[in-house]
Amino acid sequence: MAKKTVVGRVKHIPQRTCVGCREALAKRQLLRVVRTADGVRLDPTGKLAGRGAYLHDKRSCWARGLKGALARALKTELSKEDRARLLEFMNSLPEAETDGSAM
């Protein structure tokens, strides 16, 4: 009988798609927004119960998402309070990502 070689297992990394730019990345690299009974809110743990959608931590993705893609992904209408809360968070995000190559 031939000996079996043991190959190390590769850990599975869950992938999610940003609803703003449609880029697929590792789940941990995106921010989760969740629809709960209390409304739409940010989910920093990624574990809240409810329908979720993912966005980059870039203002451009949030702007595109708030135009309609986020509401479609969550299958709900964003209330004025939810939209205001999400806009406030969006305004705290960086304007554009700098990669440091311009040095």
pTM for the whole structure: 0.81
Those residues with Cβ within 8 angstroms of residue 76's Cβ, 6 or more apart along the chain or in another chain: 35, 40, 51
Dist CA 48 CA 23 (whole Å): 23
Domains of the chain: residue spans and CATH: 15-91 (3.30.1230.10)
What pLDDT is recorded for position 97?
Answer: 55
Beta bridge mates, 36: 39
How confident is the prediction along the chain (103 residues), in pLDDT tens digits per residue? 666 666 788 999 999 999 999 999 999 999 999 999 999 999 999 999 999 999 999 999 999 999 999 999 999 999 999 999 999 999 998 876 555 444 4
What pLDDT is recorded for position 103?
Answer: 41
Those residues with Cβ within 8 angstroms of residue 98's Cβ, 6 or more apart along the chain or in another chain: none
